[in-house]
């Protein structure tokens, strides 16, 4: 728990209640209201948790005004440049960058767990071929608790560790299988000689009929996408994982809940929605029409890939992603990509438009990721599954931290009830 630096007094009627103020290592102070209901007989009201810290955590820090994202204290820009996804996984799970030997051990453990139980192949076959890969992933990841019940005892630290390794190792395999299933191609087994990102690309794009050589440029770009999405503090899907886990539910069930939450277009589903929007806009001359729609209060349309609950300056991940998009398209020799042109022009216009400036709406991580994924050959339906497989490590790290927290309590928010007060049941003929 953070240091307590003093208290604030809240007066309700003639009752004064002292509320401790905690100091985080960085960021705004936090008012501890845990005793508020017991002492003041009131709840707080905060839909969307805009002012509420639901837990204490040592994993990820975001300064939305500065546009800063730190994993265990390390800036995302430095990690994106110098690290790689599996090293970031180690960092998120264990708190420190690994030594060379620790990295080798971790990599070996993850690599040894990349295959899924053979029976899972039959489980996949229960899904319709045209199912969205996210629908398949929610089901299959949830089903991991049926296939790996020897790592579902949340009270056993060893089982928690095994579950974490299994999750990080198998989720690319599951995402690739969901893709292969949806296009009617045979599943491709993991290849342990490849690195994490290269292995995922191989499982997605290789076929038994011919050799497939992973392009190192694409593997690097994929690895960077994974790093940028690896964790993001207490966002909707991570909070879902924590809430599900607070009841003692097993980790696979909790991650399945996180995947379900991520699917929404306001969250991880935005990358698919964003590319579809860019395609719908089609050409640069149609941008003003869409900007006008985004500003129209009577039109539900929003500029996908714009805006963020926390970032009110810029999303540091979007900056790296934009550079990556330029790099990947350049290296692939794609110079006249119309979608990228539309994206860049849309960004330029929106960043100058008073509506977006006043509301502090900036491109988020999803704005450019779809362009890279499309250039790699992924259909839009795979964008959110790739987000999910990248975020799995963040979810499991947050889940592990929560289970090990002596202050863990089952999550149980209260409400501001606005329904009917008590009334008596009326017989049907009297209604
Ligand atoms: N286009 C147009 N207007 C927008 C947009 C947008 N993308 N985003 C927010 N606004 C406007 C809202 O209409 C609102 O206007 P008002 O104050 O006049 O009512 C104001 O900006 C504030 O918006 P809220 O929805 O209250 O902000 P909130 O913090 O709740 O939402 C969110 C953040 C969900 C990300 C929102 O900006 C959005 O829907 N963006 C588009 C979807 C998207 O890209 N999601 C990905 C987020 S990043 C991630 O999950 C990885």
CB 261 near ligand 1, within 6 Å: no
pLDDT tens by residue, 335-385: 778 888 898 899 999 889 999 999 999 888 888 898 899 989 999 999 999
- Which residue segment(s) compose the domain that 16 sits in? 3-53
Residue 418 CA neighbour count, 13 Å, CB half: 2
Is residue 238 pLDDT above 90, yes or no? yes
Whether 179 maps to a domain, the answer reads: no
CB 229 near ligand 1, within 6 Å: no
Whether 30 maps to a domain, the answer reads: yes
User: What was the pLDDT predicted at 150?
Assistant: 94
Which of 113, 202, 308, 315 is an active site residue? 308
Whether 122 maps to a domain, the answer reads: no
Whether 230 maps to a domain, the answer reads: no
pLDDT tens by residue, 112-141: 999 999 999 999 999 999 999 999 999 999
Q: How far apart are CA 342 and CA 347, in angstroms?
A: 8
Q: Annotated catalytic, 366?
A: yes
CB 364 near ligand 1, within 6 Å: yes
Whether 14 maps to a domain, the answer reads: yes
Which of 195, 223, 315, 366 is an active site residue? 366
Whether 17 maps to a domain, the answer reads: yes
Whether 28 maps to a domain, the answer reads: yes
Is residue 1 pLDDT above 70, yes or no? no
Whether 34 maps to a domain, the answer reads: yes
pTM of the predicted model as reported, rounded to 2 decimal places: 0.93
Q: Measuring from atom 9 of ligand 1, which residue has the nearest CA? A: 307
Locus of tokens 């438009």: 353
Domain of residue 25, CATH code: 2.20.28.60
Give me the number of domains the chain comprises: 1
Phi, psi of 396 (to 5 degrees): -75, -35
> Which of 363, 276, 355 minimizes the C-alpha distance to 322?
363
Sheet holding 30-31, edge to edge: 3-12, 15-23, 30-31
Q: How far apart are CA 82 and CA 90, in angstroms?
A: 15
């Amino acid at each position: 728990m953070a240091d307590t630096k003093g208290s604030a007094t809240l007066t309700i009627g003639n009752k004064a209640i002292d509320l401790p103020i905690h100091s985080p290592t960085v960021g705004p102070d936090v008012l501890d209201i845990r005793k508020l209901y017991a002492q003041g007989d009131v709840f707080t009201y905060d839909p969307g948790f805009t002012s509420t810290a639901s837990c204490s955590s040592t994993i990820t820090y975001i300064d939305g005004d500065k546009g800063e994202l730190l994993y265990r204290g390390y800036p995302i820009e430095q990690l994106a440049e110098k690290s790689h996804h599996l090293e970031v996984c180690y960092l998120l799970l264990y708190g420190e960058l690994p030594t060379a030997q620790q990295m080798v051990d971790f990599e070996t453990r993850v690599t040894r767990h990349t295959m899924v139980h053979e029976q899972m192949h039959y489980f996949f076959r229960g899904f319709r071929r045209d199912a969205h890969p996210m629908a398949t992933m929610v089901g299959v990841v949830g089903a991991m608790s049926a296939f790996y019940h020897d790592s579902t005892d949340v009270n056993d630290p060893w089982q928690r560790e095994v579950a974490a390794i299994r999750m990080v190792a198998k989720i690319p395999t599951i995402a690739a299988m969901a893709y292969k299933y949806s296009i009617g191609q045979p599943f491709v087994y993991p290849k342990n000689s490849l690195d994490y990102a290269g292995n995922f690309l191989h499982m997605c794009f290789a076929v038994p009929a011919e050799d497939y050589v992973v392009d190192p440029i694409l593997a690097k770009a994929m690895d960077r996408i994974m790093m940028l999405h690896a964790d993001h503090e207490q966002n909707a899907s991570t909070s879902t994982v924590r809430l599900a886990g607070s009841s003692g539910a097993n980790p696979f069930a909790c991650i399945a809940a996180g995947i379900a939450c991520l699917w929404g277009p306001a969250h991880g589903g935005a990358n698919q929605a964003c590319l579809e929007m860019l395609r719908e806009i089609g050409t640069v001359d149609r941008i003003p029409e869409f900007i006008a729609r985004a500003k129209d209060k009577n039109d539900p349309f929003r500029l996908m890939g714009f805006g963020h609950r926390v970032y009110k300056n810029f999303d540091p991940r979007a900056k790296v992603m934009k550079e990556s998009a330029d790099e990947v398209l350049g290296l692939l020799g794609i110079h006249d990509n119309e979608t990228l042109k539309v994206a860049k022009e849309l960004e330029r216009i929106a960043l100058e438009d008073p509506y977006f400036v006043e509301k502090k709406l900036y491109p988020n991580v999803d704005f450019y990721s779809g362009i890279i994924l499309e250039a790699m050959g992924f259909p839009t339906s795979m964008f959110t599954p790739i987000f999910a497989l990248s975020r799995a490590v963040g979810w499991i790290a947050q889940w592990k931290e929560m289970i090990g927290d002596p202050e863990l309590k089952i999550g149980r928010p209260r409400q501001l009830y606005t329904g009917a007060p008590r009334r008596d049941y009326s017989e049907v003929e009297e209604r």
